Structures are given as structure tokens and as C-alpha cells.
């Protein structure tokens, strides 16, 4: 299933970015202030997430990628648990994607580059992942 590979690769790529941040990387910018403004969405004293938080998100995203790849494995007694875990993954990305368009959720980001990126890239990417997961569940 090509869709499973594409979804898993997307989550692994996102995990890689978060791991890069965990080790001190500052892409898409060159310093913490730029990163906060574009990735976190707050300014005025806000800091980028620390290494532990970034590494935890990277691990969760990589685990999600493995969950998706599990649909390619032969049937197993673990399949009901893996299916339930994929529904949890679906819920997490659905909530994150929909939160993009719920005004009170990201109010703190109004007026930052993050707000624009969230509406144009981050939220739609989460919703695309949701659609892909939904297609895999059918």
C-alpha cells in the first residue's frame, strides 16, 4: 500500500525535524527567536520547546510511522491493539488539524508568522494525515 508508505514517511520526516530541534537545530531560521515566531507562534519572552519535549514528540511521531507501517505486516494477534492505536493517532491529528481553525485555540499566535503557516501548512498537513489514516482504516 503506497498510501501507508507515504504516510509513514511523512511522520518519519516530521520526527526527524523534531529530533533535529532536540539537538539544538534552529531550522527554519537561524536563532531561537525566529524559530519561536515561526514554529511556536508566540513572541514576548516565549522560548522554543526544550530538548526533552522535542525528543518526545519525535519519538511519538516515529511510533506513529511504525503503527502505520504495521498495516503492511502479515496478520497478527496484535492487530486489534494496533488498530486501536491507529484510531488514537487519527484522533490526535484530527484534533490538532481542527484546532487550527478554532479561533480561541491559537489566539496567542495572532499576528505571528506561525498563524499564517499554521493555516496554510501545519493544519492542512495534519488534516491530510487524518484523511490518509481514515483511508487506511477502511
**pTM greater than 0.75:** yes
Task: State how far the Cα of 67 lies from the Cα of 82, in Å rounded to an integer.
Answer: 7
pLDDT band of 36, cuts 50, 70, 90: confident
> Which alpha helices (H) appear in 76-112, and where do they start and end?
79-99
Q: Is the pLDDT of residue 43 over 70?
A: no
- For residues 41 and 72, which has the higher predicted lDDT (pLDDT)? 72
Query: What local confidence, expressed as pLDDT, does residue 9 receive?
Result: 98
Task: State how far the Cα of 25 lies from the Cα of 27, in Å rounded to an integer.
Answer: 6
pLDDT band of 31, cuts 50, 70, 90: confident
Tens digit of each residue's pLDDT (9 = 90 or more) over 46-86: 678 889 999 999 999 999 999 999 999 999 999 999 999 99
Tens digit of each residue's pLDDT (9 = 90 or more) over 87-135: 999 999 999 999 999 988 888 788 889 889 999 999 999 999 999 999 9
- Within a 13 Å sphere around the CA of 119, how many CA atoms are in the beta-carbon half? 13
Phi, psi of 89 (to 5 degrees): -60, -45
Query: What local confidence, expressed as pLDDT, does residue 101 receive?
Result: 92
Query: What local confidence, expressed as pLDDT, does residue 72 receive?
Result: 94
Residue ranges per structural domain of the chain: 2-137
Q: Break the chain down into helix, strand, coil percent, rounded to 5.
A: 75, 0, 25
Query: What local confidence, expressed as pLDDT, does residue 45 receive?
Result: 61
Amino acid at each position: 500500500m503506497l498510501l501507508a508508505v507515504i504516510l509513514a514517511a511523512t511522520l518519519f520526516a516530521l520526527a526527524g525535524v523534531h529530533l533535529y530541534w532536540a539537538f539544538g537545530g534552529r531550522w527554519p531560521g537561524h536563532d531561537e527567536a525566529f524559530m519561536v515566531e515561526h514554529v511556536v507562534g508566540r513572541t514576548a519572552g516565549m522560548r522554543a520547546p526544550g530538548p526533552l519535549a522535542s525528543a518526545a514528540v519525535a519519538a511519538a511521531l516515529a511510533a506513529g510511522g511504525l503503527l502505520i507501517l504495521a498495516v503492511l505486516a502479515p496478520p497478527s494477534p496484535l492487530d486489534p491493539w494496533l488498530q486501536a492505536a491507529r484510531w488514537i493517532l487519527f484522533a490526535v491529528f484530527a484534533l490538532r488539524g481542527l484546532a487550527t481553525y478554532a479561533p480561541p485555540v491559537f489566539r496567542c499566535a495572532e499576528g505571528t508568522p506561525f498563524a499564517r503557516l499554521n493555516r496554510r501548512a501545519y493544519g492542512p498537513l495534519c488534516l491530510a494525515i487524518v484523511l490518509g489514516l481514515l483511508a487506511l482504516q477502511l
